[in-house]
Amino acid sequence: MKNVTTRAVIYKKNLENNISEIKKLLKPETKMCVAVKADGYGTSALETARLCEKLGVYMLAIARVSEGIELRKDGIKLPLLLLSLCCPEEFPDLVKYNITPFIFGKEHIQALEDSLTELEESKGIIKTLEVHLAIDTGMGRIGCRKEEAAEQAKLIASSKHLKLSGMGTHFALSDCVEEKGIDYTNLQFEIFTEAVNAVKEAGIEPGICHAGASAIACSRSDIHFDMVRPGIIVYGYYADQVDKKYLESKDINLDLKPIMQFETKVSAIRRFKPGQSVSYGRTWICEEETDIAVLPVGYADGLLRRFSPGLKVAINGKEYPVVGRICMDQCMVNIGKDNKEIKCWDKAVIFGPVGQDGALQDAETLAALGNTISYEVMTSISKRVPRIVVDNC
């Protein structure tokens, strides 16, 4: 394991556990499209992709063409679904790297077809590109309305270089288990079903139909269609209200394990006397003599500035408070005077799987402190933090 101070440890066993746990909840014929966008939610898209290939996952979801190019260059062969729109300049790369885009809108479809025609005319590249038609059933993001679905599917089907190989939509309230959430999800499900049927009635094969992300994958097997697109549960966190307790109440057993641990090392221990202060703004002033541990981790690593005050880190099995403002590259922890349990270069864990390798809180607990969600805490871990993949737990 690379010996650096601040790092994100990725537990492969936990990832493997999560993927097989999710699979157990799917019908044998239901396909899985694992979201590896944003570098696998800040973990490692490549590690996740490799494991997905090994474990028989059908497809991977990305959000940028650049993410697809990187995976292809690293040898990933699985089909890639591009969840958000790309600009016309990126169209040739869809062909070159075999990326299946979500698409909708007559102009966008026509522009893609024109770009492929030009590739054929100028470079002699004759390729058909598989595309999935996006339907907006109430998320209010991308997709055509259900009334436009048949017409746009026809446009795709009649294009020389495009092949409709799927249709998808996205739910807005699937992680809410209150009545308003369930009602809205059911409404979106109905609208999507109508769009799919309209395409079929127009004599066009819609391909693989898919709608649900993590929340649906684990709680609503009645609306899985042909494929689900889980993300957050793959990385070990439940989708908001669709948590372990809720699932158990529905007799669904899903045992997820966070796959990432964000940790650093104590880089200095310094004595503070009453009146001396810590960090910018002098928001913390020493009241009685104590020792302060300096940690080389800050908001440029993804330790959000708003986590302080309130943030606690785990050192050798105990929690200690961060005092003063979190800086760009460092923060300070009050460990108490003459703490015999801590020495320089001891490991300090910010979040990770609780009870596994020293973490006393996971990303979800930390997220609550910063008024956000586990997704944002994980994807905030920045590029300069090395991801260290370990086999064992």
CA angle 259, 310, 263 (to 5 degrees): 30
Catalytic residue list contains 73: no
229 part of the interface to ligand PLP, by CB under 6 A? yes
Which of 297, 343, 358 lies closest to 7 in space, CA to CA? 297
Residue 40 makes contact with ligand PLP by CB under 6 A: no
Largest CA distance in the chain: 80
Does 35 sit near ligand PLP (CB under 6 A)? yes
Tell me if 370 contacts ligand PLP by CB under 6 A: no
Q: Which residue stretch of 154-162, 224-232, 259-267, 362-370 sits at the interface with ligand PLP (rule: CB under 6 A)?
A: 224-232
- Nearest approach in angstroms of CB 37 to ligand PLP is 6
Residue 354 to residues 248, 261, 298, 363: CA-CA distances in angstroms? 20, 9, 22, 10
- Smallest distance, Å, CB 214 to ligand PLP? 3
Q: Which stretch binds ligand PLP (CB under 6 A): 201-209, 230-238, 291-299, 344-352?
A: 230-238
Binding of ligand PLP by 144 (CB under 6 A): no
Which residue's Cβ has the minimum distance to ligand PLP? 231
The C-alpha atoms of residue 345 and residue 264 are separated, in whole angstroms, by: 9
Nearer to ligand PLP, 86 or 315 (CB): 86
Strand, coil or helix: 141: coil
How is 260-294 classified by DSSP, letter by letter?
EEEEEE--EEEEE-TT-EESGGG-EE-SS-EEEEE
Query: Residue 79 Cβ, how far from ligand PLP at the closest point, in Å?
Result: 15
Q: Does 166 bind ligand PLP (CB under 6 A)?
A: no
- DSSP codes, 167-203: EE---SSTT--SHHHHHHHHHHHHHHHHHHHHHHHTT
329-358: contacts with ligand PLP (CB under 6 A): none
Q: Which is nearer to ligand PLP, 35 or 315 (CB)?
A: 35
**Binding status of residue 220 toward ligand PLP by CB under 6 A:** no
- From 214, 219, 264, 374, residue interacting with ligand PLP (rule: CB under 6 A): 214
65 binds ligand PLP (CB under 6 A): no
Under the binding rule (CB under 6 A), the answer on residue 231 touching ligand PLP is yes
**Contacts (CB under 6 A) with ligand PLP, residues 279-308:** none
* Segment contacting ligand PLP by CB under 6 A, of 145-153, 177-185, 201-209, 223-231: 223-231
Long-range CB contacts (within 8 A, 24+) of 272-280:
277/324, 278/323, 278/324, 278/332, 279/323, 279/324, 279/325, 279/326, 279/327, 279/331, 279/332, 280/324, 280/325, 280/327
CB 49 within 8 A of CB 68: no
Nearest approach, Cβ of residue 62 and ligand PLP (Å): 10
Cα–Cα distance, 219 to 250 (Å, whole number): 8
Nearest to 258 by CA among 51, 71, 43, 102: 43
* Per annotation, catalytic residue among 127, 280, 343, 383: 280
Q: Which C-beta is closer to ligand PLP: that of 145 or that of 343?
A: 145
Helix and strand numbers, DSSP H then E, in the chain: 12, 19
Per the annotation, the verdict on 97 as an active-site residue is: no
Q: How many angstroms separate the CA atoms of 100 and 247, rounded?
A: 33
Smallest separation (angstroms) from ligand PLP to the CB of 302: 18
CA distance 153 to 136: 14
232 near ligand PLP (CB under 6 A):
yes
Cα(148)–Cα(165) distance, integer angstroms: 18
Give yes or no for a contact between 299 and 381, defined as CB atoms under 8 angstroms apart.
no
Check residue 83 for interaction with ligand PLP (CB under 6 A).
yes
Residue 219 sits in the site that holds ligand PLP (CB under 6 A): no
| x/- letters, 168..207, toward ligand PLP (CB under 6 A) | --x-------------------------------------
Residues labelled catalytic: 37, 280
Binding residues for ligand PLP (CB under 6 A): 35, 37, 83, 170, 213-214, 229-232, 239
